[in-house]
Structure 1
Amino acid sequence: MKRKRAVALSYDEQHIAPVVVAKGEGAVADRIIERAKQYDVPIYEDETLATMLGQLQLNETIPEELYKVVAEVFAFIYQVEKKVEGR
């Protein structure tokens, strides 16, 4: 059985791309996911992407090769937030 993995990204105007702000496996991944739920942060599940992002260091900007897929994740999150606001 594979261990659960979680990576949290943040993006603001200070950075050229999203930054890894938390990452972990197993119990640490569970805590990251629980914290996201606690603050109503949308969760996007993609094992391959989590593995690639998990190789980055904390506070490291994502590499250019991942811009497109991460942009798709942020678009997904935007759609989820718009639906929640519309309720």
Structure 2
Amino acid sequence: MSRYKRVRARAVGIRYERGGYAPWVVARADGAAAGRLVRLAGERGVPVLRDRTLAESLCLLDPGAFVPAEYWEIVARILLAVKDIKL
């Protein structure tokens, strides 16, 4: 018996437009589809950051749903980091 718990991969795409109410989920996937989503993002030049806890929480949301206020600070930090990467 393995001592390690296998964790299912999850990926979430988020978007924010300046002046908008909040960031929203544009895509979500788990398992093999999560790997494909990450690969597709990379192929299109979309930065990918890894945060398992945040991904697990945001994967519960449907595409089009706003990110809940409790996650705004961490998502804002991620979006600022991405902005710096793209410059």
When normalised by structure 1's length, the TM-score is 0.87
Structure 1 partner of 2:59: 54
Structure 2 unaligned runs (5+)? 1-5
Structure 1 unaligned runs (5+)? 83-87
Bigger Cα Rg: 2
Moved more, 5-14 or 25-34: 5-14
Aligned-residue sequence identity (percent) comes to: 33
Q: Which one has a larger percent helix, Structure 1 or Structure 2?
A: 1
1:35 equivalenced with 2:54 (yes/no) = no
1:12 equivalenced with 2:17 (yes/no) = yes
Question: Equivalents in 2 of 1:73, 1:30: separation in Å?
Answer: 20
Counterpart code for 2:14: L
CA RMSD of aligned residues (A): 1.3
